[in-house]
Structure 1
Amino acid sequence: MGEIHDINFREPAARLPATHDATADAAAEHIELNMGPSHPSTHGVLRLVLELDGETIVKATPHVGYLHRGDEKIAENMTYTQFIPYTDRLDYLAPLANNVAYALAVEKLLGMDRQLPPRCQYIRMICCELARISSHLLGLGCYAMDCGAMTVFLITFTEREKIYNLCEWLTGARFTTSYTRIGGLSRDLPHGWVDSCRKFLREVVVTIDEVDRLLTRNRIWLDRTRDIGVITKQDAIDYALSGPNLRGSGIEFDLRKAHPYLAYNEIEFDVPVGATGDCYDRYLVRMEEMRQSVRILHQCLDKLPGGPDNASGEPINVSDGKIVLPPKSKVLTQMEELIHHF
């Protein structure tokens, strides 16, 4: 794909250095600052010991701390299905995507990842792309607020609220959804949900364009993002970066394209990449990824097997009773529903 770093309407007279040579001013007085573990911008997740020279971070020492919760050890005493709620909390910004990733891993171990019903695959893709838009909206909104653009923060969080409304309607929860099941889904799309999702897609495109208008050519935003935090291609590989951070450094790699899962091989979309690997490139990549997610969602809704209300009765779970748990309504009334557990 072509590079998206094409905003060349001005040449800065003096660009800020991409990296800071700490040895050049060794005699200067540096400030040591603790960021976290209880810091308003980190939500109590970790501690960073920062060494500052003015506004430049010359050294950062991470202490994992609260990020280590022993999920793997907890999982040893659970069934595969019981661990699903824990995946919601691995990245609470995208619980729907976490559920799908975990379920796909278990299904691959069971040798049934290619046996999922088509409707289930498309609904999972819809969930993943909604989660992607939600995460990018949060990232852009908080980043803009840190740079003084409060308006962008309010705009993006308004759109995220609409996604939460869709999640609540679909799963019964706004944050920790636990929607995916091993071998399928917990429930089908409710009546009218697809129409509401299409309405949201029309509205979020307008919001993305509005954020683009407010930030992309904004002089303050450019000064705060261009040539800042440059990550070269080699550094991105060495540090095992992924997602927009990897693609922002100019590496065109996306699992949905390189190793398609679910039904992504049936969907058309582009993979945006950056040119210089700075904060501005990563911003542009996230902006374009949201547009591509909208494009993917439109295709998923159009191609959804069974249509919006599943009039043809397409299954959303595999038929193997040893893997898929029976509906609770049947467990309470029909003894034979649990026969596969003995």
Structure 2
Amino acid sequence: MHLSTVQYTYDPRHLEASEPTKYKPEDLTEEQMLINIGPQHPSTHGVLRFEVITDGEVVVDVVPHLGYLHRCFEKHAESMPFNQVIPYVDRLDYVGAMNNEHAYVMGVERMLGIENDIPKRTEYIRVLMAELNRLASHFVAIGTYGLDIGAVTPFLWMMRDREHILRMLEWVSGARMLYNYIWVGGLFYDLPVGFEERCKEFVTYLKPKLVETRDLLLNNKIYVERTANVGVLSRDLAINYGVTGPMLRASGLRFDLRRIDGYSVYPQLDFEIPVGEGTVGTVGDCWDRTWVRYRECEESVKIIEQCLEMLTKEHKRTRDYDPRAMVPKKIRPQAQDFYVRAENPKGELGFYFRADGRSDVPVRCKARSCCFSNLSVVPEISRGVLIADFIAIVGSVDFVLGEVDR
């Protein structure tokens, strides 16, 4: 059954066909109505259908329906060597591909026992790429969220600034969105000559642009009224549902794996962990979730500046530096079960590996999707809201279906 963005289901015959539904016509009262919101076009964030029961304009219940993309990431990963999985990792959260690669590669390196042998320049380049991609991901989240509730200009501004980042990442890797740049044991290639200077110019350009976006969107009276006190996610509920990332921090819990686990060179860097404070509404509402992402953009800029300073002073390029020096010819970890996690733009991305000690192909590879866990809490914070507020709640989650339907 092909649905438009919003389909009002008056006729019970509309509930038949191939897509399963939780509610049947006989389950609804005379005042209630079933509305299918989605699925969206696959060229957007992904395809997702919400089965929404309404009483007038009030949402009674929400049932998310997944299963349209069928990425089959985990089965692909179990049929090829560890190092050949990286291009598939890019396609999970394709808006934050560098961050995906960083998490996956770090797990394989820990299984091989070579994590501490990676050159510091390599680690700083990895963090630099991850934070640039974090900025690009948050720009999509903030820009499209404004678009969801009627603000067009912030979206155009965010896409304009994101384009600068994508061009730099393409300059480094040769690809626009799916990079295959961070390799097990190193990198595909060192930074291009002049990249550090170009990145410094971008940081100088971006700082006032972030302030403009804050004033235009986050401090806008209409935007505040649409998002403050809407979709409030309490800290306990977030923890019980396994919510992570900006959604969890917006609920008041200062939990960031870059600090908690201290992986890569993050312990050597100075940055803050923003949390929701209920400045204009309630802690954990839609406004706080966007505010935390905005503040993380400012902190990512600080991290990028520190990485650039280290790459141009203490760990600058030399003739004997080889980003592929530690790349193993054959990846064959000892027999073990292993789990690694990292702080992606949307939350905790984890990879569970099972190796048999004989093959260079993982026996089991499981991706722990932060988008899946964050999306699962939507019904809990949507009951009793207006339909317009439900759209605002869904937009504030910032999920990518490539990672949800993996």
Question: How does the TM-score come out when normalised to structure 1?
Answer: 0.82
Shift of 1:215: 2.0
Q: Amino acid of the residue matched to residue 122 of structure 1?
A: Y
Question: For residues 224 and 53 of structure 1, what CA distance do their matches in structure 2 show?
Answer: 21
SS at match of 2:117: coil
The Cα offsets for residues 234-258 of structure 1, whole Å up to 9 and x where unpaired, read as 0110111111000000000000111
Please report how far the alpha carbon of residue 204 of structure 1 lies from its aligned counterpart in structure 2 after TM superposition.
1.7
Once the two structures are superposed, the pairs formed by residues 176-325 of structure 1 within 5 Å of their partners are 176-275=178-277, 276-304=283-311, 310-311=317-318, 313-319=320-326, 321-323=328-330
SS in structure 2 at match of 1:81: helix
Pair 185,35 (structure 1): closer, same or farther in 2 beyond 3 Å: same
Is this contact kept in 1: 2:135–2:297, CA < 8 A? yes
Query: 1:97 maps to which residue?
Result: 99
Counterpart pick for 1:158 among 157, 160, 165? 160
Partner residue, 2:86: 84
Summarize the alignment of residues 121-132 of structure 1 with structure 2, pairs less than 5 Å apart. 121-132=123-134
Is 57-66 or 302-311 further displaced after alignment? 302-311
**Structure 2 SS opposite 1:114:** helix
Q: How many residues align?
A: 300
Question: Once structures 1 and 2 are overlaid, which stretch shifts more, 199-208 or 114-123?
Answer: 199-208
Residue type at the aligned position of 1:295:
K
Match of 2:31 among 29, 32, 46: 29
Is 2:196–2:312's contact at 8 Å kept on the other side of the alignment?
Answer: no
Task: Give the structure with the higher percent strand.
Answer: 2
Q: How does 1:10-29 map to 2 (within 5 A)?
A: 29=31
1:81-105 deviation per Cα after TM superposition (whole angstroms, max 9, x unaligned): 1111001100010111111111011
Is the contact made by 2:250 and 2:275 (CA closer than 8 Å) also made in structure 1?
yes
Distance 2:59 2:260 in 1: 35
Query: 1:156·1:207 contact (CA, 8 Å) conserved in 2?
Result: no
Match of 2:67 in 1: 65
**1:34-53 per-position Cα deviation (integer Å, ceiling 9, x unaligned):** 23334479544332212234
CA distance in 2, matches of 1:185, 1:255: 23
Measured at CA, do residues 309 and 111 of structure 1 come closer, stay the same or move farther in structure 2, by a change above 3 Å? Answer: closer
CA distance in 2, matches of 1:147, 1:46: 18
Select 1:135's aligned residue among 109, 134, 137: 137
Which structure 2 segments of 5+ residues have no match? Answer: 1-27, 278-282, 332-359, 361-406
Across the aligned residues of Structure 1 and Structure 2, the Cα RMSD in angstroms comes to: 2.2
- 1:216-273 CA-to-partner distances (Å, cap 9, x unmatched) read 3221111111000100000110111111000000000000111111100100000000
The letter for the 1-side match of 2:88 is Y
